[in-house]
């Protein structure tokens, strides 16, 4: 057994598959400003919600004090519109002096004092998407050094205002420059999202060597339509995307919008379940100062987080597409366990779906128990041929954690 583990580790190490900074062996978790707070820079009209050090300190406080940190939500991430419109006299990026009077270094110190990590945003191009100074090729090393000197722990590098050839040069160069700083800084690459997210324009093997995570597809908005579009794009292209993910290298379907305005309770449960199946980064973009108990309970579901954070790091797959508009997803987990999601894209009424593990093409010499992740319901004694029925609400999910009850007697051969 130990030999097997050792040889597996050697195999993984010799493949050199992921960016060699030792970070994000499980999908990163935290909070990211963009979807909820965008480029709101009017701190006079909207002091509580504008992009300012106060917003990030508030979120750090909430993560540290409201039980998020203990569950793994550790990153506090700045997105676009944090910088001053001009670099300083030495060419360095500086934070907007009105909105970040203490500077990013002090903000990092504050975030670290809470036991959390700070992420920042840059853009490989002439400008950021919001029109702030971008990182052209000649600024890559200086900007990496600046972020490291501030004590930043993660960089999301966007790709507005540059062409494909600049991106093909710049993303690997930034990866190298971050490594050269000597500070371990996780690297989130928006590159594939700008190239359509698919081969031959995107080489996922290469991305895994230079980035810890990457955005493949469009930005998420605060709507169910947006969540559905993302999920269906991921399932359509899972043969390409699923093998790309693994410890230290993750597909990023974008932020969790649970706790905002666009999703119903059922839809919120669906987003969380599918993001767990996809081994997706869990970056919430919501207002943690004013979040409902219902939304918190979804985002703080321990079993769901454990599934998302499974150490094998194998992304799940869509097993069965759309029969009666019910999709069945499965993620293989460590210790011979698995997660199943029954996802309804129906719009009529709760749907009773009867199946068995063998009907889902799951074969294993075990008797299983299945636990509903969102309720107390447990079904014991599931043989692979045992029929069971789940009731799935419209635009909702039933998610099951399936684990072996006991090993059947080993038969020879």
Ligand X SMILES: *[C@@H]1O[C@H](CO)[C@@H](O)[C@H](O)[C@H]1NC(C)=O
Q: Is residue 149 within the footprint of ligand X (CB under 6 A)? A: no
* Binding window for ligand X (CB under 6 A); candidates: 107-115, 161-169, 346-354, 366-374: 161-169
Specify the 3-state DSSP secondary structure of 288. coil
Q: Is residue 145 within the footprint of ligand X (CB under 6 A)? A: no
The answer to whether 32 and 285 have CB atoms below 8 angstroms apart is yes
Cα(376)–Cα(356) distance, rounded to whole angstroms? 20
* 222 noted as active-site residue: no
Number of residues that bind ligand X (CB under 6 A): 12
* 385 noted as active-site residue: no
Residue 149 or residue 166: which is nearer to ligand X going by CB? Answer: 166
Cα(276)–Cα(309) distance, rounded to whole angstroms? 8
Q: Is residue 383 within the footprint of ligand X (CB under 6 A)? A: no
Residue 204 or residue 217: which is nearer to ligand X going by CB? Answer: 204
Task: Name residues contacting ligand X, limited to 1-40 (CB under 6 A).
Answer: 20-21
The answer to whether 259 and 73 have CB atoms below 8 angstroms apart is no
Q: Is 412 exposed, middle or buried (0-12, 13-18, 19+ CB in 10 A)?
A: exposed
Q: Is residue 356 within the footprint of ligand X (CB under 6 A)? A: no
Minimal distance in Å, beta carbon 141 to ligand X? 15
Task: Name residues contacting ligand X, limited to 162-221 (CB under 6 A).
Answer: 163, 165-166, 179, 182, 184, 203, 205-206, 209
Residue 207 or residue 340: which is nearer to ligand X going by CB? Answer: 207
Minimal distance in Å, beta carbon 168 to ligand X? 10
Give the bridge partners for 117, in sequence order.
75
Residue 182 or residue 413: which is nearer to ligand X going by CB? Answer: 182
Handedness of CA 255, 258, 261, 262 (dihedral sign): positive
Count Cα neighbours of 46 within 13 Å in the Cβ-side half-sphere: 11
- Phi first, then psi, for residue 285 (nearest 5°) are -130, 90
Active-site residue, selected from the candidate residues 143, 158, 310, 327: 158
Cα(187)–Cα(197) distance, rounded to whole angstroms? 18
- Phi first, then psi, for residue 66 (nearest 5°) are -105, 25
Active-site residue, selected from the candidate residues 145, 219, 222, 372: 219
Residue 176 or residue 387: which is nearer to ligand X going by CB? Answer: 176
Active site residues: 158, 219
Under the rule (CB under 6 A), what is the footprint of ligand X?
A: 20-21, 163, 165-166, 179, 182, 184, 203, 205-206, 209
């Amino acid at each position: 057994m130990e030999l097997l583990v050792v040889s597996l580790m050697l195999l993984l190490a010799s493949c050199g598959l992921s960016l060699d900074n030792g970070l994000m062996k499980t999908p990163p978790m935290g909070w990211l400003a963009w979807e909820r707070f965008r480029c709101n820079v009017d701190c006079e009209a909207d002091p509580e919600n504008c992009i300012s050090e106060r917003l990030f300190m508030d979120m750090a406080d909430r993560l540290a004090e409201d039980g998020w940190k203990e569950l793994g939500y550790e990153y506090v991430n700045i997105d676009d519109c944090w910088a001053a419109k001009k670099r300083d006299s030495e060419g360095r990026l500086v934070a907007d002096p009105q909105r970040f009077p203490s500077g990013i270094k002090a903000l990092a110190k504050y975030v670290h004092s809470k036991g959390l990590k700070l992420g920042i945003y840059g853009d490989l191009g002439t400008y950021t998407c919001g029109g702030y100074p971008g990182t052209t090729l000649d600024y890559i090393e200086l900007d990496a050094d600046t972020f490291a000197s501030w004590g930043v722990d993660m960089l999301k590098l966007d790709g507005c205002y540059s062409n494909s050839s600049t991106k093909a040069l710049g993303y690997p160069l930034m990866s190298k420059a971050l490594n050269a700083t000597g500070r371990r800084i996780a690297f989130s690459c928006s590159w594939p999202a700008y190239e359509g997210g698919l081969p031959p324009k995107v080489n996922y093997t290469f991305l895994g060597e230079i980035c810890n995570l990457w955005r493949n597809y469009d930005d998420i908005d605060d709507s169910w339509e947006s969540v559905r579009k993302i999920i269906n794009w991921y399932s359509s292209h899972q043969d390409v995307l699923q093998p790309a993910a693994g410890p230290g290298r993750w597909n990023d379907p974008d932020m969790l919008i649970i706790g905002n305005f666009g999703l119903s309770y059922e839809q919120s449960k669906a987003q969380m379940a599918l993001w767990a199946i996809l081994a997706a980064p869990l970056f919430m973009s919501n207002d943690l100062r004013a979040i409902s108990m219902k939304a918190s309970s979804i985002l703080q579901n321990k079993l769901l987080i454990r599934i998302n954070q499974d150490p094998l790091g194998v992304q799940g797959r869509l097993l069965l597409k759309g029969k009666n508009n019910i999709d069945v997803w499965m993620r293989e987990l460590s210790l011979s366990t698995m997660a199943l999601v029954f996802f309804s894209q129906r719009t009529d009424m709760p749907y009773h779906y009867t199946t068995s593990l063998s009907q889902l093409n799951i074969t294993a010499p075990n008797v299983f128990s299945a636990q509903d992740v969102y309720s107390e319901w447990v079904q014991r004694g599931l043989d692979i041929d045992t029929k069971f029925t789940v009731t799935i609400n419209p635009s909702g999910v039933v998610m099951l954690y399936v684990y072996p009850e006991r090993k059947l007697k080993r038969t020879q051969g």
